[in-house]
Amino acid sequence: MKKSIEIGIHIFFWLVFIIYIFMLIMIYLQGNPDAPFSQHLYYVVFLELIMGLIFFYTTFLGIILARRKKENLIILAVILILLLLITAYPATRVGFWQVMSSVIPHVLIIFLALVFRKFSDSVRLENEKQALLLQNTQSELVLLKMQVSPHFLFNTLNNIDYLISNDTRKASNSISKLGDILRYMIYDTEVEKIPLSKELKHIEDYIELIRLRTYGPDYLKYNVNGNSGNLQIAPMLFIPLIENAYKHSSKKEGENVIKIIIDINEKNFSFTVNNEYDNSPGEKSVTAGGIGLNLVRRRLDLIYPEKHTINLSQDKNRYNVELKLILDGY
């Protein structure tokens, strides 16, 4: 929770408190119009607010110190008891119920301060947990780049080496695309989100380099429906999924071995990739694991909580991954 939101909650609480006290006093005065403080209504409300603030923040802030030492907890308890005695003392001249009516509201404020402290601490711990998870995920992203890049680089350079002696123009274009991909892996993935148009360009470059490693113009089908507009997206969500599809494909030549479809409808984004795999007996089955896919899942949970779905399925000899996101603009 942001500090400004927490402050806003406190301000709202005290506004409600003032209204509550004012209403209680008005109800009391209806039954006792000749009460001594009937001519000093606003002063009484102000005094109750000051006392409420003292009780609340003595407890709310004192708990932090009390956690460090038991002695501090005893000191805090003594201070609160003394404050209760001081506020209740004038009512002792009137009667028992007047004393209780003075003590109980302040005890309630102490209890609410403890609740607020507990809530504030739980939110802070959750934020720290999310920050740690994000840090771990970023570390895993570095590991993923270290794993993907050498494998990808080695195979691509082999193909470019072949092209140099057969098609120099295509080799030159491939080197340019490879440079763009490597810059993307090294630099663009350091930020949380990039323009969707930029991510799509990197996907296209990556696909072109994959085509160097396969045979047949229709080996990989790639379609984009819709306009990226001013949408933004977390980087490197799809390259691990595309690399997995290529890695687990049953063959490196043919038609429609890998299909990639992207649909963009306003802020609704859908990415589907499926590939052929060998499901014959004795062949290793395709599993929904691997550091790439697990990292994608964790990043989605952190960056797109409740704004994404990812489904994995197998149908006959095809393995399918479908990812749906609700994106933000910039």
CATH code, domain with 211: 3.30.565.10
Same domain, 109 and 209: no
Task: Please indicate, yes or no, if residue 237 is contained in any of the structural domains.
Answer: yes
Convert the pLDDT of each residue in 36-84 to its tens digit: 655 666 666 788 888 888 888 898 888 888 887 878 888 888 888 888 8
Domain that holds residue 94: 3-126
Same domain, 115 and 205: no
Task: Please indicate, yes or no, if residue 145 is contained in any of the structural domains.
Answer: no
Structurally, the chain folds into a number of domains equal to: 2
Question: To which H or E segment does residue 82 belong?
Answer: helix 70-88
Same domain, 196 and 100: no
CA–CA separation, 300 and 241 (whole Å): 13
Same domain, 89 and 200: no
Task: Please indicate, yes or no, if residue 134 is contained in any of the structural domains.
Answer: no
Residues 6+ apart with CB under 8 A from 323: 237, 238, 241, 270, 271, 272, 296, 300, 308, 309, 310
Task: Please indicate, yes or no, if residue 115 is contained in any of the structural domains.
Answer: yes
CA–CA separation, 247 and 242 (whole Å): 9
Q: Any alpha helices (H) in 187-328, and if so which ranges? A: 196-212, 239-247, 291-303
Question: Of 106, 126, 146, which residue is a domain's last?
Answer: 126
Convert the pLDDT of each residue in 3-22 to its tens digit: 677 788 888 888 888 887 77
Task: Please indicate, yes or no, if residue 140 is contained in any of the structural domains.
Answer: no
Task: Please indicate, yes or no, if residue 159 is contained in any of the structural domains.
Answer: no
| Higher per-residue confidence, 36 vs 130 | 130
Convert the pLDDT of each residue in 235-264 to its tens digit: 888 988 888 888 888 888 888 999 999 999
Say how many residues make up the chain.
330
CA–CA separation, 236 and 63 (whole Å): 44
Question: To which H or E segment does residue 29 belong?
Answer: helix 3-31
Copy the structure tokens of residue 44: 């009484």
Confidence label for 172 from pLDDT (cuts 50, 70 and 90): confident
